[in-house]
Chain A
């Protein structure tokens, strides 16, 4: 069997039926193999970065490993942002790169880069295939590593001569990696201890993140929260693992979290972190984070524990297993005083929609999108910036794997390609891509991919003619010195979408919000809606970087 056939056979054995790939010199052999391939579909983006984010979007909504293929040199370097993004957000991804022929490696050959060196610190692991017989086991290991433990990206760099070589090694059914044995089961005595601490607490808060989503623990979380009567706050990555409208929900915490989530964290006597990593956008000033609380941290990655904030009880293992074991040990407690305080906080700073004298309120757009799509199991994919935070705050998140956003890396340009991946992963769902006028221009070429595949993605472009989040920081902390954030000379996005053959609409007055969105949703194909939002609308609440979470700015 040729190397390229072995690659496809490994993909099949891993249940892969869709990959994203962009051709180029050193990966032609593999693309040639795809020419007649029926079982594994290859979707071509218009830029390798788009392929990487599409694979991430696909992985995030399906729970499967995303696969992206690129050529050597510039093809590989164009993947770098996507690989780093997947690493930060623990997204399972296998990136296959072509490499120059084995005997030229290290000679500064045409389109050669040291992909392994470049991706070492942004991937969970990486492999350069040097011996043809290693190819099947290395690629197989890549899938195993990408999806197990704390998921992440794995890079496999394959010289073009090895792709063409006859491989005399079978496709292994499974692989064993001696140095890699993730811990899935929590220690039973520590789980008992968690239960005792929860049962004894007067003012508990559950603080949960992406680990709940990736381990499939959402149902366990709901049961635990309801059984023990625990308020729940989620990180950006955890959105959807607990329903936003549940009475126990505090919404998102952190820099742009709800005021009441942050107040609850600052006032709690027990913080139970599950599958979250105490990121600086969550904690604010670490020394003042949840200052009154004993802290429990449940995580599958030992390096996440006590990295930023010291904890009283670390428990290593899978969130699903630990929450399941925990459930029968929990007692129901009413905690009336605590819930009364939370109710007061909720009443005093609700997430309402501000009025912007005639201009479109982005928060209202999200609320209307939500209302109009309720029975379509919608997926909300975002780019990075203000629109992302409004989406996190004003959307009614109901289910896991229906929220796709670039959290840890904060990658502008993520949204459109990730929405392509999400729509391919969930072809029957309504997929929204909420983006900004800055973000969409970082991967706008993917409109061609949307068109070719006729993916019915609804692109909601929150257009304020600014790099809005940076402008907001400049307004609040840099004396309104708007250095290089003004995009008022943006191109005509409606004309651009039309040039790509995509239907487009303009929404420029608040009272047309519902009608325009309805028209977009009802259209069977892709639509871009150019939403002219208030130019200086800001994201509130906000805790300035490095401040304690109770230093909340709520309005201008």
Chain B
């Protein structure tokens, strides 16, 4: 039986230096790991950045990824968020076909999902939606019934809950 593949989110606190992103990207490609999404941004401390990396793999691969990430000299700390209670969110822009007779339904959908209309044109709406993976999937699946012509996602960010 092949080992069970699951999704995993790592949060890596790294030094905010040139080349760190390239180093992490190179680690993933050299070792044959697949990145599902990767988000980088500054933290409250300008000397560090936070990388949120979502990957798919079996337990052994995920453990290797965690250790390999920790081994990089520029990595300060690696946390596995999937094992901890955490808030996670992603942001998507979705361009949906919106013929005049369907607009009402789509606007209802936007309201239900707490999303936002970012742009309106003759035949399309651009919808901005944020939330966890389940919410985004469910929205995309419903939006798909109207026809999605373009979609872009920012990549998942996550944070451990509580103190």
Interface residues of A (CB under 8 A from B): 116-117, 120-121, 124-125, 128, 130, 145, 177-180, 301-303, 305-307, 310
Chain A residues with Cβ below 8 Å from B75 are 179
Partner of B73, one of A121, A180, A303: A180
* Complex Cα spacing A177 to B73, Å: 8
A303-B68, A306-B60 known; A116 vs B19 contact (CB < 8 Å): yes
Q: Are B64 and A179 neighbours in the complex by a CB distance under 8 Å?
A: no
- How many B residues have CB within 8 A of the partner chain? 21
Restricting to B20-49, which residues have a CB under 8 Å from any CB of A?
Answer: 22-23, 26-27, 30
- The answer to whether B7 has its CB under 8 Å from any CB of chain A is no
Additional 6 contacts, C-beta under 8 A, given A117-B22, A120-B22, A303-B64: A128-B19, A145-B73, A178-B15, A301-B71, A303-B68, A305-B67
Q: Are A179 and B15 neighbours in the complex by a CB distance under 8 Å?
A: yes
Partner of A303, one of B14, B30, B71, B76: B71
Q: Are A125 and B22 neighbours in the complex by a CB distance under 8 Å?
A: no
- The answer to whether B70 has its CB under 8 Å from any CB of chain A is yes
SS class, residues of chain B in contact with chain A: helix
Chain A residues with Cβ below 8 Å from B15 are 178-179
**Which residue of chain B has the shortest Cβ distance to A310 in the bound complex?**
B60
Chain B residues with Cβ below 8 Å from A177 are 73
**Which residue of chain A has the shortest Cβ distance to B76 in the bound complex?**
A179
Q: Are B22 and A179 neighbours in the complex by a CB distance under 8 Å?
A: no
Q: Are B73 and A125 neighbours in the complex by a CB distance under 8 Å?
A: yes
* Complex Cα spacing A305 to B63, Å: 10
Interface residues of B (CB under 8 A from A): 14-15, 18-19, 22-23, 26-27, 30, 60, 63-64, 67-68, 70-76
Chain B residues with Cβ below 8 Å from A145 are 73
Chain A residues with Cβ below 8 Å from B71 are 301-303
**B27, B71, B76, most chain A CB atoms within 10 A:** B71
Q: Are A306 and B22 neighbours in the complex by a CB distance under 8 Å?
A: no
Chain B residues with Cβ below 8 Å from A305 are 67
Chain B residues with Cβ below 8 Å from A120 are 22-23, 26
Q: Are A306 and B63 neighbours in the complex by a CB distance under 8 Å?
A: yes
Q: Are B67 and A303 neighbours in the complex by a CB distance under 8 Å?
A: yes
Selected A-B contacts with CB under 8 Å, 30 pairs: A116-B19, A117-B22, A120-B23, A120-B26, A121-B26, A121-B27, A124-B73, A125-B73, A128-B19, A130-B18, A145-B73, A177-B73, A178-B76, A179-B14, A179-B15, A179-B72, A179-B73, A179-B75, A179-B76, A180-B73, A301-B71, A302-B70, A302-B71, A303-B64, A303-B67, A303-B68, A305-B67, A306-B60, A307-B64, A310-B60
A478 nearest CB across to chain B (Å)? 28
* Complex Cα spacing A136 to B67, Å: 30
* Complex Cα spacing A528 to B19, Å: 47
Partner of B67, one of A116, A117, A302: A302
Chain B residues with Cβ below 8 Å from A302 are 67, 70-71
* Complex Cα spacing A124 to B15, Å: 16
Chain B residues with Cβ below 8 Å from A117 are 22
B39 nearest CB across to chain A (Å)? 20
**A177, A178, A179, most chain B CB atoms within 10 A:** A179
Chain A residues with Cβ below 8 Å from B70 are 302
Chain A residues with Cβ below 8 Å from B18 are 130
Report the 8 A-B pairs with minimum CB-CB distance, sorted nearest first.
A121-B30, A303-B67, A125-B73, A179-B76, A302-B67, A120-B26, A180-B73, A179-B75
